[in-house]
Structure 1
Amino acid sequence: MSASNARSTLHLPQGDWPTVLDCLCAHFPSIDRTTWTDRFARGRVLDANGQPLAVTHPYRVGLKVHYFREVPDEPPIPFEEQVLHLDDHLLVADKPHFLPVMPAGGYVNETLLARLCKRVGNADLVPIHRIDRLTAGLVLFSTNPESRGRYQALFRERNIAKRYEAIAPALPGLAFPRVERLHMVDGEPFFLMKRGDGAPNSETRIEVLERRGALWRYALYPVTGRKHQLRLQMATLGAGLCNDPFYPDLLERSRRDQDDYTKPLKLLARGLEFRDPLSGEPRRFESRLQLDW
């Protein structure tokens, strides 16, 4: 069983359980009682102060509990992240393709957050924004809880300029640069998005950087930050990103579940620019990664 330095937090829900253990067993029915008991015994269930809880600790609604997700036989992802910047408030990392930002599903240790926490020795790291597992490029992390809200507000208030690069089929029949607006809604299966009716709720400016026959390199400047926004918008235009397993056509599950490291999604979070909310100074970060043709 693998263990992770990335921990999750739960505020115990309303109920009438006698112990924290009973509450966790009920809240996470897919994890058996023996597994939870073992986690308590190994100090993998903590209180709000980071102290291990006893298996007999009484339940209380709203109690803040930290626990460490564990995944058996988690396969390593053979690509390394790079730390581009680190100070008292921010860490900027270059994330490789295929590495998730946060623990989810079958990924715990093999996440950008878990790797960076271990690498820089800071358990307080929190991503200020996220990019898809299959997308490479820049991710900002808060290193200091006291200033975290100021940097999170940059994204919430759209005071940060984001630039992506993508390689996708040519669109010779369209004029560029262009602004693409789309009404995006949840699709089926649940992890997909689709075009819906109604007023646009997503917006991206698109430019062409380079033309090579049937493929072009695009610069994408998202104004909004919806799930799979760039991937769906490009697919809707008729230029689904190269090696995208979701759009415009969903690959069968057996192929989706088996990453092909020779065919990364051709999408890169290339640049971030903003005015620092603490110092007022302009900040600009650029990915060192490249999308190969």
Structure 2
Amino acid sequence: MTKKFIIVELTVDPANDGQRLDKFLAHRFSKLSRTRIQSFIERDLASDRPMKASSTVRTGMVVRMRREIEDEPETPTAFATLYLDDTLLVIDKPAGLPVHPSARYHSGTVTGRITERYGPGFASPVHRLDRETSGVLVCARTPGALRSLSDDFFHGRVHKTYVAIVHGHPAQDDLLIDAPIANGSALVRIAMRIDSAGKPSRTQVHVVRRFVYDGKPMALVEASPLNGRQHQIRVHLAHVGHGLIGDKLYPDD
């Protein structure tokens, strides 16, 4: 049987600016081993110029990789367009739809769905939302818009508020969670963790309502990350004993 391949495009965001190529790919494909990442670089890059593991990636750069088409989990196909002009596309991302291609997902992503609806190269996501998170996602349609908006997100000039239901009844109506976040351990690389040697991370939390469901105390909260760490809200809320309902990766500490 002849193998079929697709070209996956990975856009470098400010958080990865200046990284080595192998570290950038390891961040995007967190479940893959270093050996697999090295194999990708040696055999599957579809770059216009030669690149190696130590090559530096910059904000806005597009890394193209050849990926074998494999069966992937089904993801939502529909999304609402909230705003569209010559430089911006803003969508309502449904839960269950990953933003970027990964080891498990290639076409069933936001970038893939945008291509299906509008055509190749129409827009690139400026920031990220976790796969199971729904909400507003900003995409840029020009290199200039991508650089400018990425810089705004990276330097905290964009205010983001998330709504979540958590375990338990927080004692305070308003709290600031200040705990540094680091990459996961060798055993669970996809998960982030609280670590004194990690990057400074703060999340502002406001309790909207406390309630009991099926005999279990829960709360509706608004959470605003003051930094942009991966899984920040999930990690922080679990750290203070009020993990998100249904979050299997971050149980309450």
Q: Give TM-score, length-normalised by structure 2.
A: 0.73
Partner SS, residue 146 of structure 1: helix
Residue matched to 1:123: 121
Of 95, 98, 101, which residue of structure 2 is paired with 1:100? 98
> C-alpha displacement at 1:7, in angstroms?
2.8
Deviates more, 1:81-90 or 1:219-228: 81-90
What is the alpha-carbon distance in structure 2 between the residues aligned to residue 31 and residue 66 of structure 1? 10
Residue 181 of structure 2 corresponds to residue 178 of structure 1: no
C-alpha RMSD over aligned residues: 3.2
Pairing 1:16-35 to 2, within 5 Å after superposition = 29=39
Of 108, 111, 119, which residue of structure 1 is paired with 2:109? 111
> C-alpha displacement at 1:152, in angstroms?
1.2
Residue matched to 1:69: 67
* Runs (5+) with no aligned partner, structure 2: 13-20, 22-35, 53-61
Distance change (3 Å), C-alpha of 1:185 and 1:114: same
Q: Which amino acid aligns with 2:238?
A: A
Pairing 1:208-247 to 2, within 5 Å after superposition = 208-213=207-212, 214-247=217-250
Partner SS, residue 143 of structure 2: coil
What is the alpha-carbon distance in structure 1 between the residues aligned to residue 175 and residue 41 of structure 2? 49
Query: Is the 2:114–2:122 Cα contact (8 Å) retained in structure 1?
Result: no
Q: Which amino acid aligns with 1:182?
A: A
> C-alpha displacement at 1:119, in angstroms?
0.7
Tell me the number of residue pairs that the alignment of Structure 1 and Structure 2 aligns. Answer: 214
Larger radius of gyration: 1
Deviates more, 1:194-203 or 1:146-155: 194-203
Identity of aligned residues (%): 30
> C-alpha displacement at 1:180, in angstroms?
1.1
What is the alpha-carbon distance in structure 2 between the residues aligned to residue 69 and residue 138 of structure 1? 29
Q: Give TM-score, length-normalised by structure 1.
A: 0.63
Query: Is the 2:182–2:198 Cα contact (8 Å) retained in structure 1?
Result: no
Q: Deviations over 1:130-168 (max 9, x none)?
A: 111122212111111233211111112211100100101
What is the alpha-carbon distance in structure 2 between the residues aligned to residue 68 and residue 195 of structure 1? 35
What is the alpha-carbon distance in structure 1 between the residues aligned to residue 37 and residue 183 of structure 2? 26
Query: Is the 1:185–1:193 Cα contact (8 Å) retained in structure 2?
Result: yes
